[in-house]
Amino acid sequence: MAHDPDSARLIDPETDPLATYVLEPDDVRSLLDRVVTSPGGSTHTTHAPFTGAPIAAVPLSTPEDVARATTAARRAQRAWARTPLRERAAVLLRVHDLVLAHQSDVLDLIQLENGKSRQSAYEEVADIAIIARHYAHRASAYLAPRRVRGLLPVLTKVDVLRHPVGVVGIIAPWNYPLTLTLGDALPALVAGNAVVLRPDPQTALTALWAAEQLEAAGLPAGVLQVVVGDGSIGSAVIDHVDQVTFTGSTATGRVVAARAGERLIPATLELGGKNPMYVAEDVDVEVAAEGAVRACFANTGQLCMSIERMYVHEAVADEFTEAFVRRARALRLGPGLDYASDMGSLTSAQQLARVVEHVEDALTHGARVLAGGVHRTDIGPLFYEPTILGDVPPQARAFREETFGPVVALYRVASDDEAVAAMNDTEFGLNASVWTRSTRRGAEIAARVGAGTVNVNEGYVAGWGSTGAPQGGRGQSGLGHRHGPEGIWQTTEQQTVALQRGVHSVLGGPGVGLHRLFDLGAERWTEVYTGLLRAMRTLRQP
CA-to-CA dists, residue 329 to 322, 333, 335, 342, angstroms: 11, 10, 17, 11
Rounded to the nearest angstrom, the gap between the alpha carbon of residue 19 and the centroid of all alpha carbons in its chain is 32
- Cα-Cα end-to-end distance for the chain: 55
| Closest by CA position to 19, among listed 29, 9, 27 | 9
Kindly tell me the burial class for residue 154, based on how many C-beta atoms sit within 10 Å of its own C-beta (0-12, 13-18, 19 or more): exposed
Q: How far is the C-alpha of 169 from the C-alpha of 180, rounded, in Å?
A: 12
Judge contact between 41 and 3, C-beta under 8 A. Answer: yes
Q: With the C-alpha atoms ordered 377, 355, 170, 187, is the resulting torsion angle positive or negative?
A: positive
Q: How far is the C-alpha of 351 from the C-alpha of 450, rounded, in Å?
A: 27
Q: What is the CA radius of gyration of the chain?
A: 27
Pairing of strands 387-390, 275-279: unpaired
∠ at Cα 114 (110, 115), nearest 5°?
A: 100
Residues in the chain: 542
DSSP state of 462: H
Report H helices in 35-181.
Answer: 63-82, 85-101, 103-114, 118-143
Contacts of residue 330, Cβ cutoff 8 Å, sequence gap at least 6: none
| Closest by CA position to 465, among listed 484, 448, 481 | 484
Quickly count: other Cβ atoms within 10 Å of residue 65's Cβ: 24
Phi, psi of 239 (to 5 degrees): -70, -15
Q: Which helix (H) or strand (E) holds 527?
A: helix 522-538
- Helices 85-101 and 204-216 pack at an angle, to 10 degrees, of 120
Judge contact between 346 and 355, C-beta under 8 A. Answer: yes
Judge contact between 55 and 223, C-beta under 8 A. Answer: no
| Closest by CA position to 347, among listed 110, 103, 32 | 110
The set of catalytic residues is: 270, 304
Judge contact between 181 and 131, C-beta under 8 A. Answer: no
Kindly tell me the burial class for residue 165, based on how many C-beta atoms sit within 10 Å of its own C-beta (0-12, 13-18, 19 or more): buried
